[in-house]
Each structure stands twice: as C-alpha cells, then as structure tokens.
Structure 1
C-alpha cells in the first residue's frame, strides 16, 4: 500500500522483529510463525528480516529471549531469604510462560544457551550461592529443579485441558479398571474433593511439587550435604 506524504515507516530492528513474532505466535500459534508470514505482518519483504535474524532457529531463540526477559528479577537482599526468592522467581517464570501458550514448546526445543537463558539460570544460581550453598549442592539443586525453573514441570502425560483426545483403536487391549485399584482410589478421592474439576489442577500440582523440592533443598543445605558422601543429617 503506498504511503502518503510525510508518513514514515518505523524502521526494522531485531527487537521489533522478535516482538512481532511473539505477537503472531500469541494470536495464531507457533506453527503460524514463518519468515513470510512475519514479513507480511510487518509490511516488509521476507529478505528484510534476514538483516536482523539469521534463520528460523535464530528467530525462535530470540522469541524465547523476549519471554524470558519478562520474568521478574528478585530484589536486593534476596539471598538472605533464598527460599522465598527462588519460589517467587520460578512462579514468576510460570506466570510469564503461561501467558504465551507456545513458549513451553519453544523452550523445550531450544538447544542453544543464549545470554537470556544463561542469565535466568545465573540469577537462580546466585540466589543459592549468595545464601551460602556450596557450589556442589547448587549444581545438583539446579539439576533437581530442571524445567521447573522455566515455570513448567515434566508430567507423565501431557493433556490439553478442554480438548479430549480422539478415540483411537487399541492394539494392546482395553484396560480393565478393576486391575488398577490404587489409581481408581486416587481418582475417586480427587473427584470427591473437587467435583467440579475437569482434571488435575496444574497450578496446585506445580506449587505442591515446588514446595516439596524447596523443603528438601533446605534440609540438604542445613545438613552441609556433599555429593562425595551423600550424607543427610537432620
């Protein structure tokens, strides 16, 4: 579309390209993000994008960096209250990631440790080290937290709320509920406690797991745990 007299187009920049890609993924999903589709949304030709992102992987890395950049940073003196600061940081990450439904998939498929990724890991690492954790314990604590530092937890089965799985033909036989009394007991108890729920409360489960992990980490810190002895003293 031709521009009128005196009308100037905002110049492209890496920041503008990445934020436009995030907005596109937010509204249309990650699969909709292509160089051509992104160029159309910005009103430029696809080749113009390559001055700012080298390829699709670079674009996705940058989109993840934009999201991570929105994670709240713990304030001064956070290491003196390390447990609360770690909890706030991780729950802040969860809030940010859940605001972008595509972000978990993008984070899980990234293989490059960008400055944004390393920066978030460094901030959490410093909360532990600043509280007097040994480098040894901090190393293993970060492994223990795993994907939870990004605000999501590894589940046995990833179910999409509100979207029942299509019925598929089974070749392994139909399960008989009577063969799984423990699972049925847990399911019945959960339904009784939350009769209106359509599935597990993922936020509750995330908070529960995080609190249990942080309790265990605090215990290891108090006991001066060391990986060479693996001794835990109450």
Structure 2
C-alpha cells in the first residue's frame, strides 16, 4: 500500500517522453533566451513539466547539462575529411569559420564555455579534430600542431567574446575615436592621428565578419610561415 503523498513507480505526465536530448534542447532554449544564470535543474524541470528528480536519471548535475550543451552545439563540427583536394590552410579556415559560427549562434553559451575550463575541455573534444587534421596535413610536428591550434582557438575565443558583448554585426568605433584623436595635444600619437584621419569615418567602421576574416588570414599566414621554414 502506498502512503498518501508518496509517489508510485509510475512516471508523471511528460516524464515518459523525457530523454537526454529533450532535456538538453530545453536547456539550450533557456540559455539562449535568458542567459546561463537562468539555467537551474529546478527551472529546467519546470520547463519540461517534470519532477526535478527525473532529470538526474539522464544528467546527474548542472555541470553535466553544460557538457551536454557543448556536445549538442558543437558536435556538428566534426565533418568528414575533405582530403587533399582542399589545401590545408583552406581546411583550417573552414574549421575556424564553423567554430566561430557555432559560438555566434549561442552567445550566452559561448560566454560560459569560454570562462569554464571544464566546459572548454568538453568543447575541445568535439571540435578540434578538423583543426588538427588540417595542421597535420601541413606536415607540422605534434608540438607545432598543438601550439598552432591553440593560437587559432585563442583568437576565435577572444574575437567571439568581443562579438558576444556587442550583439551586433558592426561596432560603431569611428565617432568616438575621431573625437578623441582630434582632441589629442599636438605631436601626441602622430601615427595614430594620421591613420585615423586618412581612413575617416567610413574606413574606421568595424564589421565583425570582415574583421574576423582579416584576423583569420593573419593567423593562418603565420602558421604558413612555420610550414615554409620546415
């Protein structure tokens, strides 16, 4: 006989359809809409209309949920090897663009991923193979592959943090920068002054897409120089 107030072994309405994928999909929706701080196991259970304890059968804690989100968002980056038909540097750029796009699609998750060492490790496991594959095709040593990949990922992470904080396609740098440069004492920062004045408002407009491509080309060219030295 079951005492009043105790649950039987039967699941509540909704729990029979509960799955790891359903939990992670709901968690990602919360993070995207409201930020990482809004994600709790209790809030997640309420969204799914299930008992909080039922979540732990699939994901034991919030850390496991975050690791699962990294897998959910980034696992699609493990695309097939394009082979030698695509040069190694283009393969590397394609991997970088795909990684940046995944971060950009979920900026709230990106901020968490990039500030949590365990989350970074989760992401590395599911995203780094295309980077390592391209660099291995460039015939770099294991140490050079490791360091080159880290340098490129650091660039993407830093860029993504700035992009996520702005939440726009462009950054209006020109008006304030022009005003500040015009107010500098004569002879102070002459090169900066000359360049800013030569570029003008249109030349100083910062577009994140073109800024990313410029930085990506610079980093890839540096790796290419290492390849040529070998």
Shorter-normalised TM-score: what interval?
0.7 to 0.9
Alpha-carbon distance between aligned partners in 1 of 2:193 and 2:87, rounded to the nearest angstrom: 41
Alpha-carbon distance between aligned partners in 2 of 1:163 and 1:134, rounded to the nearest angstrom: 39
Contact 1:147/1:154 (<8 A) preserved: no
1:172-211 matches, cutoff 5 A: 177-178=184-185, 180-194=189-203, 197=205, 200-211=206-217
Shift of residue 152, structure 1, vs aligned partner = 3.6
Alpha-carbon distance between aligned partners in 1 of 2:199 and 2:47, rounded to the nearest angstrom: 46
1:31 to 25, 28, 37: 37
Question: RMSD value over aligned CA atoms?
Answer: 3.2
Contact 2:59/2:65 (<8 A) preserved: yes
The Cα offsets for residues 174-209 of structure 1, whole Å up to 9 and x where unpaired, read as 9964355554554444543358x4xx2222211101
1:1-234 matches, cutoff 5 A: 9=14, 11-71=17-77, 73=79, 75-77=81-83, 81-112=87-118, 114=121, 116-148=123-155, 152=159, 159=166, 161=168, 177-178=184-185, 180-194=189-203, 197=205, 200-224=206-230
The structure that is helix-richer by fraction is 2
Gaps of 5+ in 1: 1-7, 165-173, 225-234
SS at match of 1:217: helix
Shift of residue 105, structure 1, vs aligned partner = 0.5
Shift of residue 115, structure 1, vs aligned partner = 5.3
Contact 2:31/2:108 (<8 A) preserved: yes
The Cα offsets for residues 75-109 of structure 1, whole Å up to 9 and x where unpaired, read as 43058511111101111111121111212202112
Contact 1:71/1:93 (<8 A) preserved: yes
Contact 1:153/1:206 (<8 A) preserved: no
Relative distance call for 1:180 and 1:86 in structure 2 (3 A) is same
Alpha-carbon distance between aligned partners in 2 of 1:191 and 1:92, rounded to the nearest angstrom: 33
The Cα offsets for residues 113-134 of structure 1, whole Å up to 9 and x where unpaired, read as 6555223123311221133222
Gaps of 5+ in 2: 1-12, 173-179
Alpha-carbon distance between aligned partners in 2 of 1:188 and 1:21, rounded to the nearest angstrom: 48
TM-score (norm 2): 0.73
